[in-house]
Chains A and B, each alone.
Chain A
């Protein structure tokens, strides 16, 4: 089942390569069909998914093996499965990618190339969230960069060349750190079914400290080695997350990318940083994670505050949303570092919720940009007088992003705070870290409310002619209504999502608790 999700888009992309150019208009219908087909497959998965069971829909085929001489055998597998962490993210991906298809419906420039790259991106995103083989994960993770680079560089805004190369170099640097980590990890772990013979990329085996090869570089007694490796992997994923000070690629990439690509970037690609940390860095190196959690928390808080302060100072609406992403992803780190089940649940919940909210925010920025080609906050005033439904959606998205109760953002952030404060009573983190993070909330309310006041209220004025500022079209409603609905649903009935996350978090906490070294 999962393979269908991954390979329907990739095979479609290959078929589209030979598509005759004179029928180029049909391509977007094809791509829409792919997304709808993915929704159908996903529904099938959701119906039969049992939240209380661990790995489901597991598919396993051997990929290649390589003799390493005296070190035994290196085995890579095509191994995909879903659990309470990956299923919500896959569902989010399928949903957001559908929104992105609708959002880029009017792309006319070099249409064929755009959709082919988009489909490749689609398949590799889902592959990243499903892969249970570390090498497979890395391949999908890195493969995303190539279509992303071209999508930003060819269909982006005025400074797209700079933004795309910066994005590619930064994230490749992160990937290289991860690759270093992967090589060291698999050479230090063995396959429990063939002890002494086979090294493994299998994330399930890597999550079990019993599989560390005695006397290897990561041997349990080598605490400093494990901390070094944790730091390397953490830097790699922090670039993707992004965490301050490794975030500088993000505002540029977001500002220059076309709307649909910004949506995908914010809603899905940023989640891979947090996903990687939760999926294998923490389980494989729990002791090092424990030793480093103070640093992780501080990085998280700095991201929260620094992102918020930058958002406050942004003049470009898209840049503001981009910095707010940096700020919100800081909560993921804080939740993880708290080491409590509330905090970790909050981190995962925040990832999903931010995926929806940031997608909605970027769609809304796109709505405005499509009409006026101007995103400068100071160029507008009193938009609510002319675009009432649009203003309504903006209000909803801003409030959700601020973390007001009733919206999904609230649940994630509250859980993270609960975790952070509890960990200060447990003595793992200091209380001031959690207190500082709450300042981030206040700043968040500040920049959103200020923007609302500047752009939407007061007397109407605009730097472009008012005729352009027409209200939402049907296509835009089709994107915004489901997003708003899901955000409200997850805010009012968190159980919808929690039923999947909870069993996973329980297992995750057990993994962390078995720090035996």
Chain B
């Protein structure tokens, strides 16, 4: 291929990055507006941010790829799997922006960083080359390190530093692993024939070490055990909208690329290494550690950090089945998880801002005053637990159906174990998910009467909308599964 052809390819490729283009334009607008004093008001920048995300969502729908298309000489690829995730990211960023309060310091940089992280996540899910994978993962991570500290408090700095140290160490290891894989397979493109060929015929130890190190970089992003240590501190120190963002957008981006990369490593079962066992092991560890550690938490954000570790475990279990249908179950789970998580954080944020609640015990007796918020957060938490009549139940049902099906097909004892262990974990998780509703409704308020400010109508509406979405997806999962079933290209 000569230079002009390759240039032509690159120019043509640009057309397929329409939604990224929208985000980039929004990014530049905020960047410029923030520098002009008369335009740098919080409301104006927030409006640009929100409008950008809405437009980006619609652009993604509009330019939905019919067939997968390789761009930029194999660096990126657009397909329905990636577009699916991008819609979650834009919607997630929209809610994050919505949640951001005017009291946020340095909101100019804040919006820019969130936007950059969204853009990085979008690239990450399109990556098919180890190079773009590492680059976009780093975009997301660096924005993440900075955003964690954006409350400019001591605990924020602690969380940020912990996240940074752990994250950068594992990125370094990841790059080392990628260079091993590259050195052995001779290609960065992990969907290519030669990659498959070399992986399936390669020496077990080399593939194991290389693959494992690259996986490590992704596992730390999705906060799966045993690489979850940064999560509770980062969650505790970061601004609540950022926490909500972390627990959904970069996490699901990590999941998406994990799906693609493990499927490549797995090579339809021909890989010399049993990646399934490794994934099931990680899933069991995440579910167990996340749930048991959450039991002891006193602060809502730390509790939710461990809860998100446990939820990662459930999603890893779906991934570990390594089938297209189980990935569909994972997508359903991911959406339901995202809705539930945003619902919970939205309510938490409102309480934190308006009532100054930072401990779970400080929620005592609040349930009677802010009914929409309390019922909303309870619905969100019960959906995360997986109780009917909420979508969380449907998601778990689909997921465990896949697990049992694959276990039965392969007679894999480890998967049988994971099936039982995962379901029993639901009972443990109920105990801590109920803590917040428990204080809200069962405990009465202390003696000092705290004035209960009216919740903003817009917040109440958004909470109600997310809660209704959880019920609606339970009653009619078809609406979402029909869409998910059309996702056919993962690798």
B393 touching A139 by the CB < 8 A rule? yes
Chain B nearest Cβ from A370, distance in angstroms: 23
Chain A residues in 8 Å Cβ range of B324: 69
Contact mask A143-172 → B, CB, 8 Å, 1/0?
101100110011000001100110011001
Please pick, from A71, A146, A180, the residue contacting B382 in the complex, using a CB distance under 8 A: A146
Binds A, one of B9-17, B214-222, B397-405: B397-405
A168–B477 CA distance with the chains assembled, in angstroms: 26
| A64 adjacent to chain B (CB < 8 Å) | yes
| A439 adjacent to chain B (CB < 8 Å) | no
B441 touching A154 by the CB < 8 A rule? yes
A496–B368 CA distance with the chains assembled, in angstroms: 47
Q: A64-B476, A172-B430, A217-B408 are in contact. Are A165 and B388 (CB under 8 A)?
A: no
Q: Quick one: which of A35-85 are within 8 Å of B by CB?
A: 64-69, 71, 74
A160–B438 CA distance with the chains assembled, in angstroms: 11
A183 touching B401 by the CB < 8 A rule? yes
Chain A nearest Cβ from B250, distance in angstroms: 29
Q: Which of B328, B388, B438, B443 has most A Cβ within 10 Å?
A: B388
Binds A, one of B28-36, B78-86, B239-247, B420-428: B420-428
Q: A143-B389, A183-B401 are in contact. Are A168 and B430 (CB under 8 A)?
A: yes
Please pick, from B323, B401, B438, the residue contacting A165 in the complex, using a CB distance under 8 A: B438
A135–B401 CA distance with the chains assembled, in angstroms: 13
| B387 adjacent to chain A (CB < 8 Å) | yes
| A142 adjacent to chain B (CB < 8 Å) | yes
A139 touching B430 by the CB < 8 A rule? no
Contact mask B64-87 → A, CB, 8 Å, 1/0?
000000000000000000000000
| A441 adjacent to chain B (CB < 8 Å) | no
| A176 adjacent to chain B (CB < 8 Å) | yes
Chain A facing B: main interface SS: helix
Chain B residues in 8 Å Cβ range of A160: 442
Chain A nearest Cβ from B340, distance in angstroms: 15
Chain A residues in 8 Å Cβ range of B387: 142-143, 145-146, 172
Contact mask B462-482 → A, CB, 8 Å, 1/0?
000000000000001110010
* Count of interface residues, chain B, beta-carbon cutoff 8 Å: 36
Q: Which of A149, A183, A216, A217 has most B Cβ within 10 Å?
A: A183
A143–B471 CA distance with the chains assembled, in angstroms: 12
| A488 adjacent to chain B (CB < 8 Å) | no
Chain A residues in 8 Å Cβ range of B393: 139, 142
| A110 adjacent to chain B (CB < 8 Å) | yes
Q: Which of B328, B401, B408, B426 has most A Cβ within 10 Å?
A: B401
Chain A nearest Cβ from B3, distance in angstroms: 45
A67 touching B485 by the CB < 8 A rule? yes
Chain B nearest Cβ from A229, distance in angstroms: 12
Chain B facing A: main interface SS: helix
Chain A nearest Cβ from B423, distance in angstroms: 5
Chain B residues in 8 Å Cβ range of A71: 405
Contact mask B346-367 → A, CB, 8 Å, 1/0?
0000000000000000000000
Contact mask A4-31 → B, CB, 8 Å, 1/0?
0000000000000000000000000000
A176–B476 CA distance with the chains assembled, in angstroms: 23
A161 touching B442 by the CB < 8 A rule? yes
Chain A nearest Cβ from B99, distance in angstroms: 25
Q: Quick one: which of B372-409 are within 8 Å of A by CB?
A: 382, 387-389, 393, 397-398, 400-402, 404-405, 408
| B7 adjacent to chain A (CB < 8 Å) | no
A379–B419 CA distance with the chains assembled, in angstroms: 52
| B434 adjacent to chain A (CB < 8 Å) | yes
Q: Quick one: which of A114-163 are within 8 Å of B by CB?
A: 135, 138-139, 142-143, 145-146, 149-150, 153-154, 160-161
| A308 adjacent to chain B (CB < 8 Å) | no
Chain A residues in 8 Å Cβ range of B397: 135, 179, 183
A143–B385 CA distance with the chains assembled, in angstroms: 13
Chain A residues in 8 Å Cβ range of B158: none
| A187 adjacent to chain B (CB < 8 Å) | yes
Chain B residues in 8 Å Cβ range of A139: 388-389, 393
Q: A64-B476, A66-B398 are in contact. Are A176 and B423 (CB under 8 A)?
A: yes
A65–B402 CA distance with the chains assembled, in angstroms: 15
| B109 adjacent to chain A (CB < 8 Å) | no
A172 touching B426 by the CB < 8 A rule? yes
Please pick, from B408, B424, B441, B443, the residue contacting A187 in the complex, using a CB distance under 8 A: B408
A150–B423 CA distance with the chains assembled, in angstroms: 24
Chain A residues in 8 Å Cβ range of B424: 173, 176
A187 touching B401 by the CB < 8 A rule? yes
A64 touching B477 by the CB < 8 A rule? yes
Chain B nearest Cβ from A10, distance in angstroms: 10
Chain A residues in 8 Å Cβ range of B426: 172, 176
A153 touching B481 by the CB < 8 A rule? no
A164–B442 CA distance with the chains assembled, in angstroms: 10
Q: A139-B393, A176-B426, A187-B401 are in contact. Are A65 and B478 (CB under 8 A)?
A: yes
Further contacts, 18 of them, CB under 8 A, given A138-B388, A146-B382: A66-B477, A67-B485, A68-B405, A139-B389, A142-B388, A142-B393, A143-B388, A153-B442, A154-B441, A154-B442, A161-B442, A169-B427, A172-B387, A173-B424, A176-B424, A176-B427, A183-B400, A183-B404
Which residues of B are interface residues toward A (Cβ below 8 A)?
323-325, 328, 368, 382, 387-389, 393, 397-398, 400-402, 404-405, 408, 419-420, 423-424, 426-427, 430-431, 434, 438, 441-443, 476-478, 481, 485
Leading 7 A-B pairs by shortest Cβ distance: A69-B325, A139-B388, A64-B478, A153-B442, A173-B427, A176-B423, A64-B477
16 contacts between A and B (CB under 8 A): A64-B476, A64-B478, A64-B481, A68-B325, A68-B401, A71-B405, A138-B388, A143-B387, A143-B389, A146-B387, A172-B387, A176-B426, A179-B400, A183-B401, A184-B404, A187-B408
